[in-house]
Amino acid sequence: MKPGYKRVKRMTAFMRINHWVVAICMVAAVATGLYIGHPYYQTLIAEPAVNKYVMAWNRWVHLMAAIIFDVSSIVIAYLYFFSRFEKPYKKLLPTPKNIGEFVAVFVNLITFNRVKKFDSSHSDSFNTVFFFVFHLMLAWMLLTGLQLYVHGLESGMSSIGSWWPAMLHLVTDWTVPLTGGTYMDVRMSHHTTMYFIIAWVMFHIYYQVWRTIFWQEGDIAIVFGGSKFVKEK
């Protein structure tokens, strides 16, 4: 450890595993989702795509990745309130302290670390709100994705019975009028949100590298070892 620094625990082993599972599933969901919307690589296969079940496999991987996303989101929602390590919901409350910290971190970012008036040893309000927006987009992708999925079950039946399509209709049918009134509107909203998520990921990676370079506290190492290093006062 570098002299003058102390090690600060920022992520548990479970949090790190969850982070990388979500990252892998996101890559899988984006790649297969793009193919479902526009089969861009079936022409590279010598045999007809139907013989290789290319679309079926892409839909299966897309659905599995979405299911893992959903489970992860439920776990994260639980940990927001009941985690023994930290409770992120406290950073989302619009208290004067949280608003002040949010502004301070944002000013630090746009001034390239020329003004740093906050404690960077913990999860700050800016990053917490940023991740909360990400989880909201994942929830929207879940709802619109399930609406597109249940739309394909026109018979009202599934391999596990009629209760499953009925429940999905009950939970997701409201996304149709909200997005414009047609299933294509739902599809376009689902597709467009994917690009917002990709933009979110790009900024997330940039910001973590930025913090590592400017703060010199090893923030990029948090998702690997769970800790960062903060200057001792």
Contact 79, 65 (CB under 8 A): no
pLDDT at 60 over 60: yes
Q: What is the pLDDT of residue 155?
A: 79
Residue 131: how many CB atoms within 10 A of its CB?
Answer: 18
User: CA 151, CA 139: separation in Å to the nearest integer?
Assistant: 18
Say yes or no to pLDDT of 25 above 90: yes
pLDDT of residue 157: 80
Mean pLDDT of the chain: 90
Rounded to whole angstroms, how far apart are CA atoms 23 and 33? Answer: 15
And the tokens for 121? 């040893």
- At residue 2, the pLDDT reads 62
Higher pLDDT, 118 or 155: 118
**Residue 174: how many CA atoms within 13 Å on its side-chain side?**
5
49 pLDDT higher than 70: no
pLDDT of residue 88: 92
pTM of the full structure: 0.89
How much of the chain, in percent, has pLDDT values that exceed 70?
94
Residue 163 scores a pLDDT above 70: yes
